[in-house]
Amino acid sequence: MIRQNETSGARTLHRGLDILENALVQPRRLGELARDAGLPVNTARRLVKSLVARKFLRAGEQGEFVAGAQIFKLASHAANNADLLKIAYPHLKELAKTTGHCAFLGRRDGDYSVHLLRCPGRNRVLIATPPGTRRRLDETSIGKALRCDETSERATRPSHDADSSARDYVLNVGPPPDNIRSIGAPVRDASGAIVAAISIATTSLYLSEDDMPEVALLVREAARKISHTLGWL
């Protein structure tokens, strides 16, 4: 339902989603899509053209519009994320309980990492990075862990350097004044490919640089348990 106080962009988005939803429920021709969405045919044509260009829809053999490749791709990602969250959650929860620090799960999206899950620890100061947060790969330990296979260089101590990554875990100290201490480790699937990463993050009040390598072993072990459940040996 489009509200009167919505912007023009919001109304266009709603109309495009109406067309997409109607086409996915049952393949329809352009005229039917326009009628069901309550739009002039020319307006519906522009929206359908955009959806086809983005591969959310494609034209069928009889002129009807059906689900495009992008719909199946997104559905696959959603299913994979759901499985990954279910598998990772108990290990992430245990990691947060054992270390006392906030624990996170993230996946890669191009040059960014996307946080999917957060389990709070026992510390009074919590790292406020909610699910859905996007960060550049070189800004967080999760992002650097997702890139572990892109470098052969091992890091054994914290660093501000974006290249401080290792194949099994990453130690990272953020810039002042927060000086966030974080440790990331990659999660692998049955083929050995990195499909996600986990991390813990806290302030210098709760984790010194000298203690980070010891905590890193716990993060690495949790990542390996998740990976083993995904089939990695």
3-state secondary structure of 182: strand
pLDDT band at 161 (very low <50, low <70, confident <90, very high): very low
Q: How far apart are CA 41 and CA 126, in angstroms?
A: 52
Domains of the chain: 8-67 (1.10.10.10), 76-229 (3.30.450.40)
Please report, for residues 4, 38, 39, 115, 127, the alpha-carbon distance to residue 7 in angstroms, rounded to integers and kept in the order given. 8, 18, 17, 29, 34
Please report, for residues 38, 53, 224, the alpha-carbon distance to residue 69 in angstroms, rounded to integers and kept in the order given. 26, 11, 33
Q: How far apart are CA 43 and CA 15, in angstroms?
A: 10
Residue 30 has, within 13 A of its CA and on its CB side, a CA count of 15
For residue 151, the model assigns a pLDDT of 60
For residue 177, the model assigns a pLDDT of 75
List pLDDT tens digits, range 81-90. Answer: 668 899 999 9
For residue 1, the model assigns a pLDDT of 40
For residue 216, the model assigns a pLDDT of 95
CB atoms under 10 Å from CB of 108, counted, come to: 18
Residue 176 in tokens: 């002042």
List pLDDT tens digits, range 129-160. Answer: 788 888 999 989 999 999 999 864 334 334 43
Q: Is the pLDDT of residue 74 over 60?
A: yes
148 class by beta-carbon count within 10 Å (0-12 exposed, 13-18 middle, 19+ buried): buried
DSSP strands (E only) in 28-69: 57-59, 65-67
